[in-house]
Amino acid sequence: MSAPLNGIRVIEVANWLAAPAATRLMADLGADVIKVEPPAGDMLRHFALRSLGYDYQFTDSPAFEVDNFGKRSITIDLEKPGGPELVKQLAADCDIFVLNLTRARRDHFGLGFNELAAINPRVVYASLTAYGSEGPDQDRGGFDYAAFWARSGIMSLLGEPSEPPPSCRAGQGDHSTALNLLAAVLIGLRQRDATGEAQHVELSLQGTGLWSIAGDASTALVAGQNPPRVSRDAPTHPLRNVYRCGDDRWVLLVNPSPFPDRWPAFCSVLGHPEWAGPGYWDSMDRFIADSASAVAAIDPVMATRSLADWGADFDRNGIIWAPVATLLEALNDPQVREMGWVTKTEGSFGPIETLNAPFKVYGADVGIRGPAPRPGQHTFDVLADLGIDDDTLDRLASDGVLG
């Protein structure tokens, strides 16, 4: 089997999550990914997982590892004279150049599309920022918490109406954006090969956030109004809601079309077939208008049996449901394991389990190709391949350009 991106060289000038996650997937697809880090290394290497609530003390960061498998690392200080020139030398001999600097910093270092296309007329240049390279906020920094989660409008739609909007978990927007960035780069490669010309693709965390709620966004644009937050106690309708079972586990029901079959079937499973008849919730209009009383009736019944018992009956009656799984339950779900979304590999700190790419390419060689590199692990090898002699490398190192 061949790797889809075998022979493709990627230069990554990026840190944290979204862009490195995209280039990790390129490495899984067979690309030679060279990660350009500052002398202190990618900031994600030093991110304190305790800030996310973990008690475990890590020698190396699993959060960094998962986004950087299979890459080579070189350290270059872009602020030092000669640093940007080294990156340009790397860019002259690559297929894909990925960076997540703001437009102002790109211009400051001379790493814009026009500059790199002039020295590499077949480069696919992929830029990722929080808000984009045009408009009033082109130079505003931002993580996925801010640009993807809050400013895109997602955060305002979630949680109970009377409660503060909920936060997200780190990396949700970054990893969604990484998949979009991968797709854009592959489109750029296809276009480059068709035209023979350099290509520029661009994404932002904010734009991906809007795309992720396209149904709400398109409706809000036409209606000219914000969708309201929906309470768990008075949902849009009761078969699109969460319920607590007798073993204190939560079950999610997702049945957007409850009539004519699923609501009567659900009522029968609960032992109350009359709820689907006259005088109760026998139409979609009644269902939506009086959802709070329906939930109030359902809650005590759901509390009489375990999640597993309810789930078995729901399956037999065609009710769409899912357990609200803990993360470790999800990672050890037999379906997840059978599909291979979790895999064993050699990490930078020994054998580990980690996440595979979230897609399969049947008949192709796709997979993790090695641990994440140490900072600057491949600096001298990569630069020597450019034809830079040992004396020059030693001088660059002593000048601090190489960290």
More confident residue, 257 or 109: 109
More confident residue, 287 or 233: 233
Whether 56 and 141 map to the same domain: the answer is yes
Whether 13 and 66 map to the same domain: the answer is yes
Q: What is the pLDDT of residue 94?
A: 97
Please check the confidence at residue 169 and state whether its pLDDT lies above 90.
no
In a domain, 231, yes or no: no
Provide the residue type at 242 as one letter: V
Q: Which long-range contacts (CB under 8 A, 24 or more apart) does 161-166 make?
A: 161/228, 161/229, 161/230, 161/231
Whether 244 and 374 map to the same domain: the answer is no
Q: What is the pLDDT of residue 264?
A: 94
Q: Residue 183: pLDDT band by 50, 70, 90 thresholds?
A: very high
Single out the residue in 318, 344, 366 at which a domain terminates.
318
Q: What is the pLDDT of residue 48?
A: 60
Helix %, strand %, coil % of the chain (to 5): 40, 15, 45
Reduce the DSSP state of residue 244 to 3 states and report it: strand
Q: What is the pLDDT of residue 6?
A: 96
Whether 200 and 74 map to the same domain: the answer is yes
Whether 350 and 287 map to the same domain: the answer is no
Q: What is the pLDDT of residue 49?
A: 61
**Residue 202 sits in which domain range?**
9-213+332-398
Percent of the chain past pLDDT 70, that is, above it, reads 97
In a domain, 403, yes or no: no
Mean pLDDT of the chain: 92
Specify whether the backbone of 329 is left (phi greater than 0), alpha (psi in -120 to 50) or beta: alpha
Whether 280 and 357 map to the same domain: the answer is no
Q: What is the pLDDT of residue 347?
A: 85
- The two tokens of residue 105 are 């910093």
In a domain, 325, yes or no: no
Q: Which residue has the tokens 């999800």?
A: 330
User: Residues 6 or more apart from 295 whose CB is under 8 A from it?
Assistant: 232, 233, 234, 235, 238, 241
The arithmetic mean of pLDDT across residues 13-35, rounded, is 96
The arithmetic mean of pLDDT across residues 274-303, rounded, is 92
The residues with which 37 forms a beta bridge, in sequence order, are 75
The arithmetic mean of pLDDT across residues 67-84, rounded, is 95
The arithmetic mean of pLDDT across residues 332-354, rounded, is 92
Whether 268 and 338 map to the same domain: the answer is no
In a domain, 118, yes or no: yes
Q: Which strand (E) or helix (H) includes residue 182?
A: helix 172-195
Q: Residue 52: pLDDT band by 50, 70, 90 thresholds?
A: low
In a domain, 105, yes or no: yes
Residues 107-135: tens digit of each pLDDT: 999 999 999 999 999 999 999 999 988 88
In a domain, 219, yes or no: no
- Would you call 126 exposed, middle or buried from its count of C-beta atoms within 10 A (0-12, 13-18, 19+)? buried
Q: What is the pLDDT of residue 75?
A: 96
In a domain, 42, yes or no: yes
The arithmetic mean of pLDDT across residues 199-212, rounded, is 95
CATH number at residue 179: 3.40.50.10540
CA nearest 393: which of 82, 94, 39?
82
Whether 261 and 284 map to the same domain: the answer is yes
Tally of structural domains, the chain: 2
In a domain, 324, yes or no: no
Q: Residue 86: pLDDT band by 50, 70, 90 thresholds?
A: very high
Alpha helices in 15-112 (DSSP H): 18-28, 62-66, 83-91, 103-109
Q: How many Cα atoms occupy the beta-carbon half-sphere of 359 within 13 Å? A: 11
Single out the residue in 273, 294, 318 at which a domain terminates.
318
Single out the residue in 256, 289, 318 at which a domain terminates.
318
Whether 145 and 198 map to the same domain: the answer is yes
Residues 144-154: tens digit of each pLDDT: 888 888 899 89
Calculate the CA 40 to chain-centre distance. Answer: 25
Of the given ranges (57-61, 70-74, 89-93, 364-368), which has the lowest mean pLDDT? 57-61
Whether 149 and 256 map to the same domain: the answer is no
Whether 51 and 112 map to the same domain: the answer is yes
Please check the confidence at residue 24 and state whether its pLDDT lies above 60.
yes
User: Residues 6 or more apart from 341 whose CB is under 8 A from it?
Assistant: 355, 356, 358
Q: Residue 81: pLDDT band by 50, 70, 90 thresholds?
A: very high
Whether 196 and 280 map to the same domain: the answer is no
Please check the confidence at residue 140 and state whether its pLDDT lies above 90.
no
